[in-house]
Amino acid sequence: MPRYQIYFDTSEGERKFNVDIDDSEIIDTVLRDILGELAERGLVLRGVATGDLRVIWNGKELDLSRTLPEQHVMPNEVLRVLVESYTAGAGTLRVERIEQEWKLLNHLRDLNPKFLTLLGRKSRPNEETFVVQLLRSPGIEEISNGKPSIREEHTLRLSFPRFYPDVPIECYVKEPLFHPNVRADKGFICLWERFNLGDTAIQAVCRAQAMAAFRMMNLQPEHVMNPEAAEWYEQEGKPGGLVPLNGPELTVFRLVSGRVEWLEPARSAARASRRWAEIQ
């Protein structure tokens, strides 16, 4: 029976389960059974009493009255189950958060003019998109005659889906990028091992750069998007010292009056909290 990776936004935080779903099963029917099993474990979806269930795949909402194959969802794909709440101001929160992310990217560009450029943004009813380009950042385009073919420019599309920030930022690369966690057909980059509401566009771009250079990867089966690249890394790339590639790391802080100031306010707050705890 086909198996899918499903994340549930519960009152205890996001939880992931591998779920077997028959090709003929309607999503709504499956969800009812799963929610019952979650309740037996003491887990309840956040906001389930006041909102409607939604299943999100690749940034779009699935039709609960249909099967997964009917909507071109393949086995081992990642789905997210959450509740769309109608609390006043929810839309404003999304807009404000996206605007903040755009400001963060502008600050990141200003600190790294040689390595990052912003190509623009586009607004749609169900999606906000930022397009950026990494410069002088080596990545493997393909393996040609047994040797890596290197490209130093990568065009990234950061997608903020309809349910953001309750679902993560999605990242796609326009050009071919040979990496275990990048889908060769769609350019989807699997950035996040575990979703966190505090994840930012800065983290997305920095992770993408590190992944291009093979400084970062996740070889757990559920995160491998390109098995060929994973096999190459383990059998040739790593043993042969072909990776990681030498390249820059984006600067994410600045010095203000001799003190480090992080671009992401939450990161600065976390550091300050740890310093306070140590002093006490």
pLDDT at residue 173 tops 50: yes
Query: What digits encode the pLDDT tens for the residues 203-228?
Result: 999 999 999 999 999 999 889 999 99
Tens of pLDDT, residues 236-274: 999 999 999 999 999 998 877 767 788 886 665 444 433
Distance CA(225)–CA(68), nearest Å, equals 19
- Look up the CATH architecture of domain 92-237: Roll (3.10)
Where do the CATH 3.10.20.90 domains begin and end in the chain? 3-84
Chain region(s) in the chain for CATH 3.10.110.10: 92-237
Helix (H) or strand (E) holding 60: strand 60-61
Cα–Cα distance measured from residue 60 to residue 53, given in angstroms and rounded to the nearest whole number: 14
One-letter amino acid of 78 = V
- Is the pTM here over 0.75, yes or no? no
HSE value, Cβ hemisphere, 13 Å, CA-based, for 190 = 21
Percent of the chain residues topping a pLDDT of 90? 55
**C-alpha dihedral (167, 190, 131, 164), degrees to nearest 10:** 0
pLDDT score for 271: 43
State how far the Cα of 109 lies from the Cα of 35, in Å rounded to an integer: 44
Q: Which CATH architecture has domain 3-84?
A: Roll (3.10)
- Check if the beta carbon of residue 83 is closer than 8 Å to that of residue 77: no
pLDDT category, 124, cuts 50, 70, 90?
A: confident
